[in-house]
Amino acid sequence: CIPYLTCTITGPTVIDTGGTMKTVEDRCAYSLLHFVHNKSVDVLAKFQERRRKDVSFLEYVTLNITDNGIHYIRLEQGGRVWVNDALVDLNSTPQEFHNVMLSKDEYGVTAKLSIDNKNTTVFFDGLTAQLYFEENVSPKGLDGLCGSRPVDDNRINEAGNSSCETAYTEPDDDTFNSTVAAMSCQLLDQEAFAACSEHISPQPYKDACHHTLTKYRAVDRLSCQFLEAFAQVCNHRGIPLQDWRTNASCSPPEIFCQDRTCSAHEFCGEKTPGGDTRCFCRAIFASKYNDSFGEPTSCSQDSGQVSVSLVGCLLENKGIDYSALHLNNDTCRGQMDEVTHMVTFSYNSSNTCGAYVVTNDHQTTFTNTIMTQAAGDIITRHDQVNINFSCIHTQPKMQFASFRIRDSSVFQNITSGAFNYNLTMKAYSDPAHTQALLERSEHFLSHKTAVWGLSRVGQSGPLLEPGQGGELSSEHW
C-alpha cells in the first residue's frame, strides 16, 4: 500500500497537501507543482472570472515539460486536451505523449507521469483538478501552491496579461440567500462520509465551500462541486462511501460541458440547474458593453464597407437567436465567427442591403437596421430587436493635378482625404482609339483626342474604365 499526497483545486480555492485551504483572488496563472530531475515539469493552473468579476474559478491545467525541447499539455473544460498546438483525441486507453500517459473517460481526463521514481497523477473533470503523487517527500519540500508556500509566491508572470492581478469588487447578490446556499457545505458531515472522515479531514473542503458560496450563487453544479472533490479523494484512497448524492441532490460525476467549446471571453455554464449547458459571457468582458449588444459601427472610407459586430453570448442572454436577425433587406444575415462567436453584419456601396442613403453636400450617410423577422414569420419567440446603425462617407473634393506628358500615356496617384485614386490617361491618333501615340510622335501637336479613366485604390474594379471617363481635345493638353 503506497500512501499518496493529495492536492485539490476547485473553484477559487486550493487545498494543499498539508490540508490547508488557500484562495486565489485574481485571474492569473499559478504554479501548482515544480519538479526538476533529468527533465523539468511544471504543473500550472489558470484562473478566470465567470458570472462575477470578483470571484475566479479554475479554468484549465497545463503541464509544461522540458525534455529535449519545451512541450505543453493542456487539460481544458469539456474534456479537451491540447498537446502543444494540436487537439488530441483521447479515450479510456492511455496514450503516451512526451512520457505522459493521457486518457479520458466519462468522469474526466487523467494525465500520469513518473518523475524521479515518483508516480504523479493529474485529474481534471472541467470543474475540479486533483493531483496525487507518492508520499516520499515532505509537503514542505514541494514547490507550488500544492506545497506550503503562500499564494503570491507562486503567481506566474504571463506574457501580455499584466492585467490579471487587477482587483474588482461587486455588490452582494441579494437575489439569493447565501446562508441557505452554504448549508449544502454541511452535507460533508453526513453519515455517508463518516468512514472517510476518520482518515481525511473534510474541514478544508467545507471551508472552501463556505468561502465560495457565501459570495457566489450556487449554479453550474457548484453546490455539489466541493462534495464531489472530497468524495474523489476518498475513492482514490480506496475508502468506500455510502450513497451521499441522493441526500445532496447531486448527479453522478461526469465531464462538465462535455465537448462544448467556448471562446476566450466566454465560459461554459448551465442554462438551468441540472439542464443543458451553453456559453455565457465572462463578467469583466460583458461589463464594457453596458446596454449595447456589441461593438461600434465600423466604416471603411476606402472600400465603402459598413459592418457592425454583435456579441453572441449577449444576444443569447436575451434569448435572441442570431440566425433570426437580418438587415433591411432580409436576405442580408449575420455571420458568426466560429472561434470568437461574434456575429457580424456588413454591406458595401455595391450591395447596400436596403440601407437608406442620403447625400448632403460632400457627405453620404448610409443607415441600416438589424431586426428580427417580421410578425407573421415562423420565428416569433424572440424579443423584438431593432438596432439602427449609420456610416457617413465623405465624398472626394475637387483635386487639381498638373503633369508633363513624356510619352503616350500617363499614370498618377491622387489622394483626397481618406480616398486614394489612380488616374490613367492615354493618347491616340485616331477617333476610334485604336492607334496609341508613340513617344515624341509628331501627333502630339496635332492629335484630336485622349481618353482617361479613374479607379479607387483598394476597390475591386475601376470606377470609370478608360474611355468611359471621357475624352480630352488637344487644347486641354
Query: 146 and 60 share a domain?
Result: yes
Query: 79 and 218 share a domain?
Result: yes
* Residue 404 maps to a domain: no
Query: 260 and 376 share a domain?
Result: no
Query: 318 and 280 share a domain?
Result: no
* Residue 41 maps to a domain: yes
Query: 43 and 153 share a domain?
Result: yes
Helices 203-213 and 222-236: crossing angle, nearest 10°?
A: 160
pLDDT average per 10 residues of sequence, the chain (477 residues): 78 94 95 78 94 95 87 94 95 93 94 80 95 66 80 83 87 76 86 92 95 90 92 91 90 87 94 84 92 88 84 93 93 94 92 90 87 57 75 74 63 68 77 74 50 59 54 46
Q: Which of 250, 273, 288 is the last residue in one of the domains? A: 288
* Residue 232 maps to a domain: yes
Domain at 335, CATH number:
2.60.40.3210
What is the per-residue pLDDT across 24-65, written as a single tens digit (0 to 9) for each?
999 999 999 887 666 788 999 999 999 999 999 999 999 998
What does DSSP assign to residue 195? H
- The reported pTM is 0.79
* Residue 163 maps to a domain: yes
Query: 228 and 282 share a domain?
Result: yes
Question: E strands within 149-295?
Answer: 155-156, 266-270, 277-281
- Tell me the C-alpha distance between 268 and 61, whole Å: 16
Q: Which of 262, 288, 314 is the last residue in one of the domains? A: 288
Query: 218 and 146 share a domain?
Result: yes
* Residue 343 maps to a domain: yes
* Residue 400 maps to a domain: no
Query: 424 and 336 share a domain?
Result: no
Angle at 379 between CA 375 and CA 382, to 5 degrees: 85
Query: 140 and 188 share a domain?
Result: yes
CB-facing half-sphere around the CA of 136: CA atoms within 13 A: 10
What is the per-residue pLDDT across 88-113, written as a single tens digit (0 to 9) for each?
999 999 999 998 999 999 999 999 98
* Residue 195 maps to a domain: yes
Query: 265 and 372 share a domain?
Result: no
Q: Which of 348, 368, 394 is the last residue in one of the domains? A: 394
* Residue 103 maps to a domain: yes
Name the residue among 10, 26, 27, 25 with its Cα closest to residue 265: 27
Q: How many domains does the chain have?
A: 3
Give residue 299's domain range: 292-394
Query: 283 and 303 share a domain?
Result: no
Residues 80, 312 contacting (CB under 8 angstroms): no
Query: 314 and 424 share a domain?
Result: no
